[in-house]
Amino acid sequence: HHNTTEEEIGTIIDSMKAKTSAGEDDISSKLIKHCKSELLTPLTTLINKSLDEGVFPNSLKVAKVYPKYKSGQINDAVNYRPISLISNFSKILERVILNRLIAHLQQHNLLTSRQHGFIKNRSTTTAVVQLIEYIIDKLDQGCVATSVMLDFSKAFDCLDHNLLIGKLKALGIIGKEASWFTSYLSDRKQLVELSYKDNNTLLTVKSETLPMKRGVPQGSVLGPVLYILLTNDFPSYLSEFCETVMFADDTALLVATKNRQELEINSYVAYNMAKQYCLQNDLVLNESKTYQLIYTSLPNDYQGLPELTTLNSNKYLGIVLDNNLSWTPHVTQLCKKLNMGLYAIRRLKQVSDNRTAIIAYYSLFETHLRYGLVAWGGTSASNLQRVLVIQKRAIRTLKGLRPQETCRQALQTSKEYW
């Protein structure tokens, strides 16, 4: 490791969003940003001490959890999502470590190219493209291909600390650095905080503090990256029998062969090896939510693995894949979303100004339209037409054009227009 500087800490503080939420210490990022110049020297000293000694401060190990209401019965605990808040100082220290960890992994080329989550220049789109390219490539070669979408239950919460430290050591994170991560994961605690009103006074009540024995800290900076490092060796474990595409814990196994019998054998072996890997790494595979899709351009009688549900289409990372790669189910779902966005734009246009309607267009309409376009954009002309019709309606609404008026000009100049 190399020590941090006030300049690095300053950059980290600048990049934090100014929020009022805070962890157990009740110090918000807004306050930290406000007192940046006073905090730089002491923070840099403390963080360097943590790096030098290979110890993560105990005072930063407490997570404050509050229940966020989702929907349904308000007095049923099932309808709340636990939101974990950790100290903002912890986030600054973790960011310093993360910068060094990523530099180490990239310098030695240790990250699998099959993992697309939480890595610079990779995204859900690159994951979907990797999956599609593999399947199209194999179909062009006259193969039958199958994808098995694995579902891990609560992957981040169940992670075994000793296993993770072992994996980090295998990646060359040893000595003081390994001690730091051991310290970071051990003796973590959490408490639950509830806010309620009593005679118009807002009061809070806290539960007792209980230890956290497993998992990566929710809401932390390092958590997601530690998870992907635990499963970094998963693709190579299976590489003899299948190709793997991962986005964090969303994992797809891809098997393709020209011979049906070989496909059956390879799928069976790959899936069972994946189950074996889960056992060895203390991950829980949820078989009832694990699906398979079979892609073929030829008539074929391969039914897939008997213990898994075979679907004709299935959502992977927000894109609906179908077994013919026609993208029709995806376009159908997209049109639903676009129509909802269009409705919102029309309503806003009635009650507000054009600027607000344009903001709504970008956030509620165009984001859906653009997402995964590199994958599904090659769909049939009739599918593209379905999308274009709604797109034209949206442009007409924003421009105040009547249904019969042409919007070709508006579509071409839309960027300069707003």
Confidence of residue 296 (pLDDT cuts 50, 70, 90): confident
pLDDT of 326-381, one tens digit each? 999 999 999 999 999 999 999 999 999 889 999 999 999 999 999 999 999 999 99
* Residue 415: predicted pLDDT: 57
- How confident is the prediction for the chain on average, in pLDDT? 93
Q: How far is the C-alpha of 196 from the C-alpha of 205, rounded, in Å?
A: 8
Q: Which residues contact 27 (CB under 8 A, 6 or more apart)?
A: 87, 88, 89
Give residue 318's region: left, alpha or beta (phi > 0; psi -120 to 50): left
The pLDDT value recorded for residue 332 is 98
pLDDT bucket at 302, cuts 50 / 70 / 90:
confident
Residue 197 CA from chain centroid, whole number? 35
Residue 39 has pLDDT above 90, yes or no: yes
Number of domains in the chain: 3
Residues 167, 85 share a domain: yes
The CATH number linked to 307 is 3.30.70
Q: Tell me the residue range of the domain where 63 lies.
A: 6-107+162-213
The predicted model gives 288-295 an average pLDDT of 93
Confidence of residue 413 (pLDDT cuts 50, 70, 90): low
* pLDDT beyond 60 at 26: yes
Q: Are residues 363 and 300 part of one domain?
A: no
Does residue 24 have a pLDDT over 90? Answer: yes
Shared-domain flag, residues 277 and 299: yes
Whether the per-residue pLDDT at 79 is higher than 80: the answer is: yes
What pLDDT does residue 55 have?
98
Report the range out of 142-156, 266-280, 288-302, 392-406 with the highest average pLDDT: 266-280
Residues 147, 175, single domain; the answer is no
Residue 77 in this model has a pLDDT that exceeds 90: no
If asked whether residues 285 and 345 sit together in one domain, one would say no
Give the confidence band of 414 by pLDDT, cuts at 50, 70, 90. Answer: low
Instruction: Answer yes or no: do 143 and 269 share one domain.
Output: yes
Q: Does residue 222 fall inside a structural domain? A: no
What phi and psi, each to the nearest 5 degrees, are found at residue 257? -145, 165
Do 16 and 52 lie in a common domain? yes
Which tokens go with 345?
């734009």
Tell me how far apart the terminal alpha carbons of the chain are, to the nearest angstrom.
48
Give a yes or no: residue 39 inside a domain. Answer: yes
Give the residue-averaged pLDDT of 240-245. 97
93 and 46 part of one domain: yes
Give yes or no: residues 264 and 391 share one domain: no
Per-residue pLDDT, 418 = 47
Count CB atoms within 10 A of the CB of residue 275. 16
pLDDT at residue 314 tops 80: yes
pLDDT of residue 416: 46
pLDDT tens by residue, 153-197: 877 888 899 999 999 999 999 999 999 999 999 999 999 999 888
pLDDT in tens, 184-241: 999 999 999 998 888 889 899 999 999 999 999 888 999 999 999 999 999 999 999 9
Question: What is the DSSP secondary-structure string of 116-171?
Answer: -TT-TT--HHHHHHHHHHHHHHHHHTT-EEEEEEE-BTTHHHH--HHHHHHHHHHT
State yes or no: pLDDT of 293 exceeds 50: yes
233 and 138 together in one domain: yes
Task: Give the model's confidence band at 407: pLDDT under 50 very low, under 70 low, under 90 confident, else very high.
Answer: confident
Is 288 a residue whose pLDDT tops 60? yes
Residues 170 and 27 in one domain: yes
Please write the tens of the pLDDT for every residue from 90-143: 999 999 999 999 999 999 999 999 999 999 899 999 999 999 999 999 999 999
In this structure, is residue 117 part of a structural domain?
Answer: no
In a domain, 113, yes or no: no
Residue 46 maps to a domain: yes
Whether 114 is in a domain gets the answer no
Tell me, yes or no, whether 203 and 312 share the same domain: no
